[in-house]
Structure formats: structure tokens, C-alpha cells
């Protein structure tokens, strides 16, 4: 017998009932402020994942030993904002209702809001760990509140003060940094202080959102809003692994890969490798 041609992320071909982690793609980039293209991100991550090994020498662990289900991309309406966010919330809620961990591949960063809406309903004491070059704390961007430049402010609307912890931030306007000082914890430029924050959060439920533009554009040029002065791949790998391994992760996402801006493909490969490391670190 032959098998159907179903494209999943590398080795993420378990049956739904057997899987604890469920991947899905949110190929959406309608509010991207500079260069669009992240709608192609999740597809590129799946395709290119077959170029990385399933085995991680860092963790001595193998995706072949994991039961992970890839539920594919959601079909999202470009140009709209509320409907795509509702669709993402629905998919996330379905996965949570089945007792599984949702792992979303973006897409631009606004997609995080849809997932956080669902996760926060199940876990009212939710905390967010956010890696990014950009603070994403504006209340509006050119008058629009549902924008990728405002996504963490929208998450704050749900969670309130003291629940959001940002790392790697090196870009934003003066107002959003001032606002952030009062309402969230922002560690600029790198991951210094991460261990203390993880200790402070303890075993509270955590949503982990990783904007890949936290990486330096020299290793990750394939993104819509590249920002010089970022972290190295290895700094990110260590930090993301630590978060996934030690925290009570109840949802996560990796976003802002925009394949059209990197014909070399190294950005997509970096994304695949970090997703592999996160999936392995999330095994319990």
C-alpha cells in the first residue's frame, strides 16, 4: 500500500490521538508594517525542515522518538483582522480542549493574539515570555490597534500588569518603552536576566512567543522588519531551550519568517532548527 502525500514538519506525523503537541500554521501577514511575506513562513518551515536532522546533538534527543501531530495551515482571510484572529483562536481552543499543547507557526506576529485569547481563557493566570527585536507595545499603529506592532499591548489588555516578560528588545518608539516600564518587564538587547525571570514565574502557565527577528539579520535576513544588533543563533537556541525545558508551557509560537527576503534559505533553515530544538525541549 502507498501512503498519501501529506506534508508535515519533519517527523511530526503521529496520529492526533497519540500526540501531546499539535502544530499548526497561521499564514497571515495583513498588518505587516514594512515588507510583507510572512504568509509564506509556515509553508517554508515545513518544506525546509527535511533539510535538518531529526536528531539534536545539543539535547541528545530525536524527533523520531516524539509523538507530534502537524494539523497544517489554517486558511485565513487576508485583509481582514477579526476573522483570522477568531479562526486562530478556534484552532488553539480545539487543541487545548483535547488536552494538547498548541504550537503555532506564523505568519506575522499579530497571529499570537488569537492563540493567547484561547490560552488565557483556559489559564487565567497566564504569563507570556516574549523574544523579539521589537517591543510591539504600541497602543495603535497609524490608528490601527490590531497590528503586529501592537500585539503585546493587546495581550496586556487580556492579562494586565506583571505578566509579560520581554527579551532581546532593541527597537520601539519612546512612548512604548515608557509605557512598558510601568506594565511589563523588558530586558533589552539579549537574554541577560532570563534565569531570574524564569525563577520568578515558577510553575505558572506560560505562553512562549518567539519572533525570529530577535536574531541578528546577518543570520536571519528573511524577515519583514530586520533590526541590526541582534542575538546569535546559539544565544537564542540556549534561551529558547531553557524556556521550553523548564517552564510550564501551555502554548507557543514561532513567527515572522518571511522567505521571499532570503533567497539563500538560511533563515528558513535557522527557523527549522529552532523549532526542532523547541519541540524536543517540550517533551515530557
- Site residues (CB under 5 A) for Mn ion? 132-134, 211, 213
* Beta carbon of residue 78, minimum distance to Mn ion (angstroms, whole number): 20
Q: Which is nearer to Mn ion, 102 or 224 (CB)?
A: 224
- Nearest approach in angstroms of CB 179 to Mn ion is 17
Distance between CA atoms of residues 206 and 247, nearest Å: 7
Q: Which helix (H) or strand (E) holds 117?
A: helix 111-122
Strands 55-56 and 127-131: unpaired
Minimum CB–partner distance for residue 215 and Mn ion (Å): 10
Q: Quick one: 211 or 277, whose CB is closer to Mn ion?
A: 211
Nearer to Mn ion, 205 or 259 (CB): 259
By beta carbon distance, the residue nearest Mn ion is 134
Residues 6+ apart with CB under 8 A from 49: 9, 10, 272, 275, 276
Q: Which is nearer to Mn ion, 71 or 223 (by Cβ)?
A: 223
Distance CA 16, CA 20 (A): 8
Q: Any residues with CB less than 8 A from the CB of 104 and at least 6 apart, and which? A: 23, 24, 25, 26, 88, 92, 111, 112, 115, 251, 252, 253, 254, 255
Kindly tell me which of 19 and 215 has the beta carbon lying closer to Mn ion.
215
β partners of residue 55 = 62
**Nearest-approach distance from CB 211 to Mn ion, in angstroms:** 4
Q: Are 214 and 232 within 8 A, CB to CB?
A: no
Element at 82 (helix H, strand E): helix 82-97
Report whether 253 contacts 211 (CB < 8 A): no
Q: Which is nearer to Mn ion, 132 or 190 (CB)?
A: 132
Q: How far is the CB of 130 from Mn ion (least distance, A)?
A: 10
End-to-end CA distance of the chain: 34
Amino acid at each position: 500500500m502507498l501512503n498519501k502525500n501529506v506534508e508535515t514538519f519533519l517527523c511530526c506525523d503521529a496520529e492526533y490521538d497519540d500526540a501531546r503537541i499539535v502544530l499548526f500554521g497561521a499564514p497571515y501577514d495583513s498588518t505587516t508594517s514594512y515588507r510583507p511575506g510572512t504568509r509564506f513562513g509556515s509553508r517554508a518551515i515545513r518544506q525546509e525542515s527535511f533539510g535538518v536532522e531529526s536528531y539534536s546533538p545539543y539535547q541528545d534527543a530525536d524527533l523520531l522518538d516524539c509523538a507530534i501531530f502537524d494539523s497544517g495551515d489554517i486558511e485565513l482571510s487576508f485583509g481582514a483582522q477579526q476573522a483570522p484572529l477568531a479562526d486562530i483562536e478556534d484552532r488553539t481552543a480545539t487543541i487545548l480542549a483535547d488536552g494538547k499543547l498548541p504550537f503555532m507557526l506564523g505568519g506575522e506576529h499579530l497571529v499570537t493574539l488569537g492563540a493567547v485569547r484561547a490560552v488565557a481563557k483556559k489559564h487565567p493566570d497566564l504569563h507570556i515570555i516574549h523574544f523579539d527585536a521589537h517591543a510591539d507595545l504600541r497602543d495603535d499603529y497609524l490608528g490601527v490597534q490590531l497590528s503586529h506592532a501592537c500585539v503585546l499591548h493587546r495581550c496586556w489588555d487580556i492579562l494586565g500588569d506583571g505578566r509579560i516578560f520581554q527579551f532581546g528588545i532593541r527597537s520601539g518608539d519612546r512612548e512604548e518603552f515608557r509605557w512598558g516600564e510601568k506594565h511589563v518587564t523588558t530586558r533589552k538587547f539579549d537574554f541577560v536576566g532570563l534565569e531570574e525571570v524564569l525563577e520568578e514565574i515558577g510553575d505558572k502557565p506560560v505562553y512562549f512567543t518567539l519572533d525570529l527577528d530577535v536574531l541578528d539579520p546577518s543570520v536571519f535576513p528573511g524577515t519583514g522588519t530586520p533590526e541590526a544588533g541582534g542575538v546569535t543563533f546559539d544565544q537564542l537556541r540556549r534561551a529558547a531551550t531553557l524556556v521550553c525545558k523548564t517552564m510550564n508551557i501551555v502554548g507557543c509560537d514561532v513567527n515572522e519568517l518571511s522567505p521571499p527576503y532570503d533567497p539563500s534559505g538560511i533563515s528558513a533553515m535557522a527557523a527549522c532548527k529552532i523549532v526542532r530544538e523547541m519541540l524536543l525541549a517540550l517533551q515530557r
